[in-house]
Amino acid sequence: MAQAFALLTVFGLHELGLSWPVVLGLLYAENLAVVWIATQKREVFLYRVALGGSLAAGLSLLLTALSNAGHSLPPMLYRDALVLAMAGWAGVVLVNLTHRQLQPAQLAEEPDSTPADFGLLGGIAGLAGLLQGGTGLLLGRALFGWLGAPVALLLVALLGMGGIALGLAAWVHAQGLLPRWVRRQQLALGQALAVLAVFGLHEAGLS
């Protein structure tokens, strides 16, 4: 019931003027926080509910932001790109931290738990990569589709995001908790964002 009232409160922020991508981003963050709390308190049922809520909110956020990209004004598109980026980073960080506390053997000690409860965290990590990739798509839309776009700032943003992805890959590798594909995912994202930035140099006047 507490989680249900919290979700209703977040949805109600739209009535105060917040856009749906921002509301969904807050909803995603709230569910991730509940995943962490449920892990600490060994609440398997709440853990499942929050994981499902995180996946639903994250997918809704990604689809909403991408569907709005074709008709968004520049400030709105940049805002949505920032929300997607922050959601993606938060997903990777929280999943990695959660794996420290919630190991398969520990979860197996819970009478109501199943291996799928632990494996669902991989879904959040995969979604985090999609959210980061969505940010690159939005910035690429602005870089290649708009006349008068701030090319230098967009190139810096793409390279910065690529650097953060590489940093997350190194952090995940150093921790050694998440599956290896999460590290490869972040490495691929870093490379893809760097390549997009190199193509963007054409918008800066290079042949």
Torsion of CA 158, 159, 163, 166, to 10 degrees: 70
Question: Phi, psi at residue 83, to the nearest 5°?
Answer: -65, -45
pLDDT under 50 in the chain at which residues?
A: 104-109, 111, 114-115
- Dump pLDDT digits (tens) for 168-205: 999 988 987 777 899 999 999 999 999 999 999 999 99
Return mean pLDDT, the chain: 88
* pLDDT value, residue 102: 63
- Angle, alpha carbons 131-161-189 (nearest 5°): 60
Residue (of 48, 53, 66) closest to 26 by Cα position: 53
For every residue of 112-156, DSSP letters joined together read T--HHHHHHHHHHHHHHHHHHHHHHHHHHHHHHH-TT--HHHHHH
Task: Kindly report the pTM of this predicted structure.
Answer: 0.88
> Do residues 115 and 104 make contact, with C-beta atoms less than 8 angstroms apart?
yes
* pLDDT value, residue 42: 80
* pLDDT value, residue 108: 45
DSSP state of 179: -
- Dump pLDDT digits (tens) for 41-50: 888 888 888 9
Residues 6 or more apart whose Cβ sits within 8 Å of residue 50: 3, 31, 32, 34, 35, 38
Burial of 66-102, coded b for 16+ CB within 10 Å and e otherwise, reads bebbeebeeeebbbbbbbbbbbbbbbbebbbebbeeb
